[in-house]
Structure 1
Amino acid sequence: MAEQEDAAPADGSSRRLRYAYLGPAGTFTEAALRQVAGPDEAEYLPQVDVVAAIEAVRTGAADRAVVAIENSVEGGVTAVLDTLATGAPLVLLREVLVPVSFVLAARPGTRLEDVRGISAHPHAWAQCRRWLAAHLPHVVHVPATSNTAPAALLAGEDGALPFDAALVPPPAVEHYGLTPLAAHVADNERAVTRFVVVGPPGQVPPPTGADKTTLVVHLPSNQAGALLEMLEQFAARGVNLSRIESRPIGDALGRYSFSIDAEGHVADERMAEALMGLHRVCPHVRFLGSYPRVDAPHGDVRPGTHDADFAAARSWVQQLREGRAH
């Protein structure tokens, strides 16, 4: 269970919270972190990848991690989903959204027609695929660990690199002293990435009325109808799902778990009932937190599934047991 994202460190000290995030400076993750806590409020700990950022919380090297979990174009960030699904329990405390755009940048003096290799994070490359095919069809992709790692390399010593340019966030161009070769190269200018704040288990924050609960669930069996049986636990209680993705469990082919975002809070009657149903029929359910959502709910609460409806039904059954109702 989750503690407040702005709570004091677990050791009871008054020091600033330490946030691990995907670095170096200028990444979209840093932009997300700045929405959570400014550099004068928290200690920033750049990491080489999202797994390292999450593991820093598990080992106690950081108090929180800020990581991308979902992109509106590419879907879920599988490394984050898989790392949260296993290992010591962690929870999501908060989510933030960051608009995503890219610039093709290079060292001063480089021309667009000179570019033969481009370094980019795989998600950045995927989001600029059509533009690249249209304007630089023969260019070679050199994968990068983050959206600003190649910018830092280009800004370093004038040594030979296996690429001539990089796809980077717009602020990174000036930060690293690069020259923009082309702006607005993303195929979808409305792309957005959802980031989450990850922390150790603790007291769940109270519901706000606009919340999200994230879970990892294994199917109850490998038989026909198993997925339906799992989904019915939500549908029967009026819980809407805003995201569901299958991920391999890893122990054998054909065995999958499901990463799920459900609309509502564990304190809501309908969500609690759904969780109890999952616990009864599924072999593994990992609760990854209930936290305020930043996007609009996808569906309304269905009649008969409000808290008062569950309370009234429970009272009626109790009266039946006591012989006071029929």
Structure 2
Amino acid sequence: MKFSVLGPAGTFADAAAQKYLRLHPIENIEIDYHDTFDQVYQAVTPDGLGLLPLENQLDGFVLATLQRLQVANITEVGEVTVPVNFGLAGKVHNLAEIKRIYVQFKTEGQCQQLLAQLPNAQIITTSSNMISVEKLRDGIDGDAAIMPQSQLAVEDFPFTMDNVADQDANNTRFIIFKKQPAVLELPAQPAEDESASFKSALFITPPTEEVGVLYQILSYFAKTHLNLVTIMSMPTRQKIGIYSFYIEISGTLKQKSLLFETLQRMADIYTIHPLGVYAL
């Protein structure tokens, strides 16, 4: 059984996968590393798992993940949050000598204060923080990279800086998923602790553009006292002005049947793209 994640080993995605497996042990599972989000998704086997970053505390939601979820037939089975912190290393002796800096595409938005001190440096975007490390290893004098703070202890570069993120407290939330369509039917399950919590994620797309459409969607959840914890608008790409809404809902397991009943009623009017329900 494979657990597909953004690699190589040492990334925050790798740390998230390791943490998930500590919390939810699975026998005979192998972590399978890939260079891009799309490769991670494509690599997930019918009996395997995938992991993608969804939200960063400083830089918000990961657009590439939301775009994939908008059209993907997957079922989310859990989430995990890990702390992220960054250091800077370079083949230089001070900041002023940096001519080129490698930065993972999502890391860049979390280290803006540092990058503002390098107005003349060329920023080269990478697909993972560990690839930034590899690029620096193979680089030339004047190169630098922002990398996981932990890597500063194992790498040997002339110049380093600790804790270069815009704030010390910083976390990234990852989703764990199976490559099978989520459904709106409540599955038969053994007795559960009804006081325990769940989270559900889905996309809701209205059929037309009209005044008050978002209010109408939100009213379904307000009337049933389901807790709406996230809402993001995403273009459908079919017509300007028509948006799909990414929504996350939380509640107790006692409310899970109420959630499914609500979504089934909404499906008569809206296009519902469920992404799964999982315990917290």
Secondary structure in 2 matching 1:186: coil
Match of 1:127? 110
TM-score (norm 2): 0.86
Alignment partners' CA distance in 2, 1:266 and 1:117: 54
Match of 2:43? 56
2:126 maps to 1:144: yes
Gaps of 5+ in 2: none
2:158 maps to 1:173: no
Paired AA for residue 83 in structure 1: R
Give the CA deviation at 1:74.
1.6
2:53 maps to 1:71: no
- C-alpha change, 1:286 and 1:179, in structure 2 (3 Å) is farther
Q: Is the 8 A contact 1:266 1:290 kept in 2?
A: no
Paired AA for residue 257 in structure 2: E
Encode CA deviations 1:181-240: one digit per residue, 9 max, x unaligned: 211111121111101111133868776521100011102431111111111111111111
- C-alpha change, 1:179 and 1:55, in structure 2 (3 Å) is farther
Give the CA deviation at 1:279.
1.2
Q: Pairwise mapping of residues 1-326 of structure 1 onto structure 2 (< 5 A)?
A: 17-37=1-21, 42-57=29-44, 60=45, 63-87=48-72, 89-107=73-91, 110-133=93-116, 135-156=117-138, 160=140, 164-178=143-157, 181-201=160-180, 209-264=196-251, 268-282=256-270, 284-293=271-280
Alignment partners' CA distance in 1, 2:54 and 2:189: 21
> Between Structure 1 and Structure 2, which shows a larger proportion of strand residues?
2
Gaps of 5+ in 1: 1-16, 294-326
Instruction: Give the aligned CA root-mean-square deviation in angstroms.
Output: 2.6
Alignment partners' CA distance in 1, 2:51 and 2:219: 32
Aligned residues: 268
Q: Is the 8 A contact 2:198 2:279 kept in 1?
A: yes
- C-alpha change, 1:257 and 1:110, in structure 2 (3 Å) is same
Match of 1:6? none
Q: Which structure has the greater CA radius of gyration?
A: 1
Q: Is the 8 A contact 1:239 1:274 kept in 2?
A: no
- C-alpha change, 1:204 and 1:179, in structure 2 (3 Å) is farther
Secondary structure in 1 matching 2:174: strand
Give the CA deviation at 1:285.
0.4
Identity level (%): 28
Alignment partners' CA distance in 1, 2:122 and 2:13: 26
Match of 1:299? none
TM-score (norm 1): 0.75
Alignment partners' CA distance in 2, 1:136 and 1:62: 46
